[in-house]
A and B are shown apart, each in its own frame.
Chain A
Amino acid sequence: MATTTARSFLQVAATEEVAPPLRVVQMEGLVILKTIKHCKDHSPSLVTGQLLGLDVGSVLEVTNCFPFPMREEDEEIEADGANYQLEMMRCLREVNVDNNTVGWYQSTLLGSFQTVELIETFMNYQENIRRCVCIVYDPSRSDQGVLALKALKLSDSFMEPYRSNNFTGEKLREKNLSWVDIFEEIPIKVSNSALISAFMTELEPDTPVTQCDYDRLQLSTSSLLERNTEYLIECMDDLSLEQQKFQLHYRSLSRQQAQQQAWLQKRRTENMARKAAGEEPLPEEDPSNPIFKPLPEPSRLESFLITNQISNYCNQINGVSGQSFNRLYLMKALHED
């Protein structure tokens, strides 16, 4: 008996070294409600909070969460925020809540969350905990009867070049990394305790129509579509700015190359002359010359993020239009009846 347990411990130790990839985020209904309440109460300003839970194999269980107070640009208050976080964790531990940070949640406006800040926060979390996840909730879309929750993580292939801060085109091509590979979306599974399930069944008999249905069948979506398109256009502007940066870079690069060639040509003729005069030739390279200094290539990170953002807006526009088609045809059919 003792040997079998010993072996199983060994096995456990062995299996823990190869962490299985994160496949599912399992959220409690409580966490969803808490997140939504916090994000909605403070909408349209954006808020964040911490997720607590357990890391079990390929499933990340999120069992509780707590909100952060609004962030302010004061250092004193920032220290206060850290205190608040510790205090809250301590308090929750006292009532037997899982005291293990597994990530954070944040609200967003129409899915505009793909920013450098998000990546930075993610890297900060990643340093402390091996596995973390970011839940993004969009209060503006919930008015349409959509539960706009998303679980995101940075892909491993992205984290490595980010750490070394190497986003030149060549490096990215070597890694075969494109803009779709930055974020990974993880499917969310919802779980509720049997007690909660019993209460919900008790309190809410099967109603034929819910608020959700009303929201979904709302005909006017033009404002949403309008805002989405507006953001899309803004992003396009940003993207073209980024591309101008690259063009500028390439132009100066080719100018530099031309200068180098000219310099080399000059040096060669000079050397030829020296050889004819019987003197030692000068070296063909001169590191002190400013035209040989390599030009730094602008980072691709920003344009990658913008591209991600654009594709996100495109998806949203597609979704909204798809729903509207449904509604319009329904309306038409109703009218013809």
Chain B
Amino acid sequence: MAASDRTVLQFSSSSSSSQSLSARVHPLVIFNICDCFVRRPDQAERVIGTLLGSILPDGTVDIRNSYAVPHNESIDQVALDIEYQHNMLVAHQKVNPKEVIVGWYSTGLGVTGHSVLIHEFFSREVTNPIHLTVDTEFANGVGTIKAYVSNNLSLGDRQIAAQFQEIPLDLRMVEAERIGFDTLKATTVEKIPSDLEGMEASMEHLLALIDDIYKYVDDVVEGRIAPDNNIGKFISDAVGSLPKSPPAVFDKLVNDSLQDHLLSLYLSSITRTQLSLAEKLNTAAQILRFFFCL
């Protein structure tokens, strides 16, 4: 039974693989898209661009980078600067050859009619591209970020429509966490936290967490809150994960580390003293020599 014999609408072959497809977006991409949107030309309603990345071994599409591509939209046509798109691709690949085109993005909520045309263009660059939409207008009051893949509906050999199917999107941002959300969330941050300040913040976090647990346990014990077995298990796991070692061994461990660190601290201080001493002596020697020469 060949496909052309049937008169039912059917998806093209890519539909089967798209079931398990999912995507992961790095925070840089979102930042880049927002920046491009802020800097869009006056008359433009939205910005579109190319997504770069790679496909992970487990089939997840890892979207790691992006760049905007200038385009023009009127009611009945879309013009994309293909040369620009190509130049940028070559430039990006020079820096990181492992990142290839994985799809394209546009701002705005959901898929519009023109998206099909643009999607078709990107389908020529890569098979089964991903379409990422970022709602920069906050139309529903929330910033919606969605990813789609497209399936072609065909009647026999003729394509009559394209269906955009949403795929799961992983927005966990480990890189951004590393920098600290406090730095990236606010519109202005006066100063980058130094290592000790960061440590202080982490300690405060930890203390707050421990306080929370104390409070929870107390509440459960006194019957103010219904106990949750899962939380209980987590707490007992956490307490159990402390290594059980006799106090003498533990003390020795801690003291040894402390002494190691103290020693290196001492070394660095003595080096510093040496440096300033050497500087002073150098100048003194020079002055002496200077007078001597006179």
Contact = CB atoms under 8 A, between A and B. Distances in A.
Contact of B190 (A169, A189, A201, A323): A189
Given A95-B68, A310-B275, A191 B187 contact: yes
Given A212-B202, A317-B268, A190 B188 contact: yes
B206 interface: yes
Contacts of B271: 232, 236, 310, 314
Given A29-B184, A147-B192, A318-B265, A37 B28 contact: yes
A191 B279 contact: no
A217 interface: yes
Interface string A43-61: 0000000000000000000
A95 B38 CA distance: 11
A147 B290 contact: no
Nearest to B98: A41
A313 B183 CA distance: 26
A50 to B, nearest CB: 12
Given A33-B28, A195-B34, A328-B254, A216 B209 contact: no
Interface in A83-101: 84, 87-88, 91, 94-97
Interface string B174-189: 1111111101111111
A311 interface: yes
A188 B37 contact: no
A20 interface: no
Nearest to B181: A204
A208 B84 contact: no
A208 B209 CA distance: 7
Contacts of B28: 30, 33-34, 37
Interface in B248-294: 250, 254, 257-258, 260-262, 264-265, 267-269, 271-272, 275, 279, 282-283, 286-287, 289-290
Given A193-B187, A203-B145, A208-B208, A323 B91 contact: no
A97 B173 CA distance: 25
Given A28-B35, A84-B91, A317 B265 contact: yes
A328 B258 contact: yes
B205 interface: yes
B181 A96 contact: no
A199 B30 contact: yes
Interface stretch (B10-18, B193-201, B219-227): B193-201
Contacts of A169: 282, 286
B142 interface: yes
12 contacts: A32-B179, A68-B95, A91-B88, A96-B39, A146-B198, A147-B180, A195-B38, A211-B178, A212-B178, A212-B202, A250-B289, A326-B203
Interface of B: 26-28, 30-32, 34-41, 47, 64-65, 67-68, 70, 81, 84, 87-88, 91, 94-96, 136, 138, 142-143, 145, 171, 173-181, 183-196, 198-199, 202-203, 205-206, 208-209, 212, 242, 247, 250, 254, 257-258, 260-262, 264-265, 267-269, 271-272, 275, 279, 282-283, 286-287, 289-290
Interface of A: 28-30, 32-34, 36-38, 41, 64, 67-70, 84, 87-88, 91, 94-97, 142, 144-147, 149, 169-170, 173, 178-179, 187-204, 208-213, 215-217, 222, 225, 229, 232, 236, 250, 307, 310-311, 313-314, 317-319, 321-326, 328, 330-332, 334-335
Given A189-B188, A203-B171, A212-B179, 20 more contacts: A30-B32, A32-B184, A33-B176, A33-B184, A94-B70, A94-B84, A170-B290, A190-B192, A192-B184, A193-B34, A196-B30, A197-B187, A199-B30, A200-B27, A210-B177, A210-B180, A317-B264, A319-B195, A322-B195, A323-B199
